[in-house]
Amino acid sequence: MADIAAQLEAVRRRILDAEQRAGRSAGSVALLAVSKTFDAAAVRAAHAAGQQAFGESYVQEALRKREALADLPLVWHFIGPLQSNKTRAVAEHFDWVHGVDREKIAQRLSEQRPTQLPPLQVCVQVNISDEASKSGCAPADAAALCRTVAALPRLQLRGLMAIPAPVDDGNDARAPFQQLHALYEQLRADGLPLDTLSAGMSDDLEAAVAEGSTLVRVGSAIFGARPRKRAGTP
């Protein structure tokens, strides 16, 4: 296993440096450790090094891991694409979900969230790079979807999430994050109760923090390179 404690520490240092360069206070950016494809032992090692919040993209894999780690007080975020057939498992077994990009999914999550659990914490995913193939709602539809989520009884609207397209050399890495941040501030100015901007990953967290991210989702910089995705897996 890679030295998870040391790599986690290095990522925390990168976040702190980025906060300082942006003139933001230390601790204003939360770290979500993305443990998809890594086993329960890796999550346990990260937890032993002080990490509590973990992100997963594949429901079945996440449920197995959760069971193996039931003795630890972890917070689980679902960050994968959300199809209708996955909403029940997500509603029943996660604390947060970042990929809500249409009303039907939001409604199902609210209906399926068990009443004995606190409301599911929701980030609305926005397709900031405007690529037809990527998930996320159009920026122009974000306000309406946020209002729907805010009105649903078993959901709590928290913020926006985006996965910008990888930047080519010469492209401005900050531009998509800047657009996302502007949308976030606009929605807040319109009265939506948002406190979370979920943006930035291993390769671009500095650009995201410079542009107002409050939560970075970091996998490979903590846990090491992931095996290539098998063909056909979502």
Ligand X SMILES: *Cc1c(COP(=O)(O)O)cnc(C)c1O
Q: Summarize as ranges the residues that interact with ligand X (CB under 6 A).
A: 34, 36, 57, 79, 163, 201-203, 217-221
Residue 140 neighbours by CB distance under 10 Å: 9
Query: In the bound complex, what is the minimum distance in angstroms from residue 71's beta carbon to ligand X?
Result: 25
Residue 126 CB, shortest distance to ligand X, in Å, is 13
C-alpha closest to that of 196 among 147, 163, 162, 160:
160
Taking the least distance from each CB to ligand X, the nearer of 34 and 155 is 34
The residue assigned the tokens 């501030």 is 185
Could you tell me whether strands 53-56 and 75-78 are parallel, antiparallel, or unpaired per DSSP bridges? parallel
Q: Which is nearer to ligand X, 97 or 109 (CB)?
A: 97
Nearer to ligand X, 79 or 180 (CB): 79
Angle among Cα 4, 46, 232 to the nearest 5 degrees reads 85
Q: How far is the CB of 191 from ligand X (least distance, A)?
A: 28
Q: How far apart are CA 80 and CA 127, in angstroms?
A: 14
Nearest distance in Å: CB 82, ligand X: 11
CB nearer to ligand X: give 80 or 212: 80
> What is the b/e burial string over 11-39, where b = at least 16 CB atoms within 10 angstroms of the residue's CB?
bbebbeebbeebebeeeebebbbbbbbbe
DSSP state at residue 84: G
Contact 164, 176 (CB under 8 A): yes
Task: In angstroms, give the least distance from the CB of 32 to ligand X.
Answer: 8
Q: How far is the CB of 189 from ligand X (least distance, A)?
A: 27
Q: Which amino acid is at 231?
A: A
Kindly state the smallest distance separating residue 151's Cβ from ligand X, in Å: 26
**Tokens standing for 115?**
């009443």
Residue closer to ligand X by CB (options 49, 147) is 49
Q: Which residue's CB comes closest to ligand X?
A: 219
Please say whether the beta carbons of 55 and 33 come within 8 A: yes
- Which residue, 146 or 163, is less far from ligand X as judged by CB? 163
Considering beta carbons, is residue 75 or 147 the nearer one to ligand X?
Answer: 75
| Count of Cβ atoms closer than 10 Å to residue 93 Cβ | 17
